[in-house]
Amino acid sequence: QKEVEQNSGPLSVPEGAIASLNCTYSDRGSQSFFWYRQYSGKSPELIMSIYSNGDKEDGRFTAQLNKASQYVSLLIRDSQPSDSATYLCAVGVYGGSQGNLIFGKGTKLSVKP
Amino acid sequence: SAVISQKPSRDICQRGTSLTIQCQVDSQVTMMFWYRQQPGQSLTLIATANQGSEATYESGFVIDKFPISRPNLTFSTLTVSNMSPEDSSIYLCSAGSGSGWDTQYFGPGTRLTVL
């Protein structure tokens, strides 16, 4: 069974610090990886996608991918209280002709002022 | 990115009844999906809504319980049939223009409570 694992948290960091969120996945053939942010009572919002090994930066967010270790992470620099949310890692898996995303259970981040 | 709307945003239903949730995308998309998110849990894929053919259901979900329609490239419906309190959940529609393993954008969700 294909799985995506995340620490449920909560992860608490002070304002201005770097928050580091981690995710591992079981399907070695996966080629697409995503981070979504979900505020309480809201639907998931795409933050980053990454497809190649290495780092990908977008503003305060950096996604890191290591396919050999089956590991993907999200770094949030200069964390703000508005970053407090649950962060979902999603991995694209191939299934027949369609494929789909498998989501981790999410890591709850709390940024303290 | 696609803009997705869902109706209703929430509903309270009686046991044994059915509810149909609508999902509308502002542009033509290749893929549309239906997820369930139970309180404090992550997203579980119910099915892929295929345009012009029967939906593809994930293990544990059946057409009789969750019939899905997708009459065109911008619209889909999910019906939750013969509801029980265990069906109380948030139901989310998503859409993407690539393959099923590519980027998906989510609608605002439908919060369903079954009494």
Tens digit of each residue's pLDDT (9 = 90 or more) over B77-112: 999 999 999 999 999 999 998 888 889 999 999 999
A92 and B31 within 8 Å at the Cβ level: the answer is no
**Mean pLDDT taken over chain B:** 94
Which residue is closest to A98 within chain B, CA to CA? B100
Structural element, H or E, at residue A86? strand A85-93
**Predicted pLDDT at B102:** 86
Contacts of B48 in chain A (CB under 8 A): 98, 100
Q: What is the mean pLDDT of residues B40-69?
A: 92
**Predicted pLDDT at B51:** 87
Q: To the nearest whole percent, how much of chain B has pLDDT over 90?
A: 83
Q: What is the mean pLDDT of residues B42-46?
A: 93
Of A46, A88, A103, the CB nearest to B103: A46
Query: Given a cut of 70, is residue A97 above it in pLDDT?
Result: no
**Predicted pLDDT at A8:** 83
A100 and B45 within 8 Å at the Cβ level: the answer is yes
Q: What share of chain B is helix, strand, coil (3-state, %, to 5)?
A: 5, 50, 50
Query: Given a cut of 90, is residue B46 above it in pLDDT?
Result: yes
Q: Name the token pair of A35.
A: 């981070």
**Model confidence at B10, in pLDDT bands (50, 70, 90)?**
very high
**Model confidence at A86, in pLDDT bands (50, 70, 90)?**
very high
Distance from CA of B60 to the nearest CA of A (A): 14
CB atoms within 10 A of CB B64: 7
Residue A75: strand pairing partners: A20, A62
CB atoms within 10 A of CB A102: 23
Phi-psi region for residue A67, left (φ > 0), alpha (ψ -120 to 50) or beta? Answer: alpha
Q: What is the mean pLDDT of residues A1-18?
A: 92
Phi, psi of A43 (to 5 degrees): -90, 160
Q: Name the token pair of A61.
A: 């967010």
- The answer, for B59 touching chain A at a CB cutoff of 8 Å, is no
Q: What is the pLDDT of residues A49-83, one digit of tens each?
A: 999 999 999 999 999 999 999 999 999 999 999 99
**Predicted pLDDT at A96:** 61
A98 and B100 within 8 Å at the Cβ level: the answer is yes
